[in-house]
């Protein structure tokens, strides 16, 4: 049995920030999901004995990089506006065993199961851990301004990224790795998962055209702050485009100078 699992910092942050995402209009109905890899200290607080929890098949299997990990996950069909008031049913912790392609339910998720996107999240975690061992969070939602921009903005990821960078100085500071852009395809399919994970090898934010956004980070606040910045850049882009006349924004040299000042390396070929 878990020990004070709802007092874990990660649980409190998921409860808090999921509600803020709903307040921003990014998670209508059950339109969002979150997974978080617990630290060793957080996992130790659970006092869980592997092999004692309910075991459930995990579609796609367990990547080697994720074996032995404890993962905090939101429930399928969970409404983010309700999550913080119903942690027992709408949030839970699972364990990914060293052998086999199952997950074990450790605590929470009462009368429920993890998000239907769990397999995709687990695969994305493995990809991001290969890029940065400190990456712990995968977060999906429907950030409004980013989605609006996929309807009227550039349709290739280089131009999409640069358009965002030009809007406010923080863009090239917060997401110098750029934005991955997946053309519209049916969600939940192997196709969209494969495209997302290919882009996640070098980026922390991937946009699904006309659908949603995946952001990753070292903490909930890191992933949330990344999305806030991307969405703010998209909002300014939309406002500028509808103003009838606007300046071109930060030029290439300005972006290069800013990146250099903060020690950031930009993707090759993105700027002249």
**Partners of 185 in the beta sheet?**
none
Residue 126 and residue 265: Cα distance in Å, rounded? 23
> Taking a C-beta distance cutoff of 8 angstroms, is the pair 117, 102 a contact?
no
Q: Give the number of other CB atoms < 10 A from CB of residue 261.
A: 9
Q: Are strands 212-217 and 91-95 parallel, antiparallel or unpaired?
A: unpaired
Give the span between the Cα atoms of 15 and 25, in whole angstroms: 16
Angle between the 220-241 and 144-152 helix axes, to the nearest 10 degrees?
A: 40
Yes or no: say if 73 and 94 are a contact pair by the CB < 8 Å rule: yes
The answer to whether residue 241 is catalytic is no
- Check: CB of residue 6 under 8 Å from CB of residue 16: no
Of 13, 42, 104, 117, the active-site residue reads 117
Q: Which of 216, 215, 213, 205 is nearest to 133 (CA)?
A: 216
By three-state DSSP, how is residue 85 classified? Answer: coil
β-sheet bridge partners, residue 107: 93
Please state, as a whole number, how many other Cβ atoms lie within 10 Å of the Cβ of residue 209.
Answer: 16
Side-chain-facing half-sphere of 71: CA atoms under 13 Å? 34
Residues in the chain: 272
The pair of three-digit structure tokens given for residue 162, joined into one six-digit string: 């640069």
**Where in the sequence numbering do the catalytic residues fall?**
117
């Amino acid at each position: 049995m878990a020990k004070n699992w709802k007092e874990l910092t990660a649980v409190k942050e998921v409860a808090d920030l999921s509600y803020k995402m709903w307040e921003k209009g990014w998670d209508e109905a059950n339109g969002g999901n979150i997974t978080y890899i617990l630290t060793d200290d957080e996992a130790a607080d659970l006092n869980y004995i592997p092999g004692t929890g309910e075991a459930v098949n995990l579609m796609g299997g367990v990547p080697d990089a994720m074996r032995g990990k404890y993962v905090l996950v939101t429930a399928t069909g969970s409404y983010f506006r309700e999550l913080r008031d119903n942690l027992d049913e709408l949030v839970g912790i699972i364990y990914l065993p060293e052998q086999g392609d199952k997950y074990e339910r450790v605590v929470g998720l009462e009368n429920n199961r993890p998000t239907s996107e769990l397999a995709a999240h687990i695969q994305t975690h493995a990809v991001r851990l290969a890029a940065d061992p400190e990456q712990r969070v995968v977060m999906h939602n429907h950030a409004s301004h980013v989605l609006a921009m996929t309807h009227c903005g550039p349709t290739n990821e280089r131009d999409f990224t640069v358009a965002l960078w030009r809007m406010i100085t923080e863009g090239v500071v917060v997401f110098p790795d750029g934005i991955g852009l997946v053309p519209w395809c049916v969600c939940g399919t192997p196709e969209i998962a494969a495209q997302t994970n290919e882009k996640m090898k070098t980026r922390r934010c991937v946009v699904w055209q006309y659908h949603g956004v995946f952001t990753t980070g070292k903490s909930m606040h890191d992933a949330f702050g990344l999305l806030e910045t991307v969405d703010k850049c998209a909002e300014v882009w939309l406002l500028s485009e509808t103003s009838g006349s606007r300046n071109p924004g930060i030029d290439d040299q300005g972006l290069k100078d800013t990146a250099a000042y903060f020690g950031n390396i930009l993707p090759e070929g993105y700027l002249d």
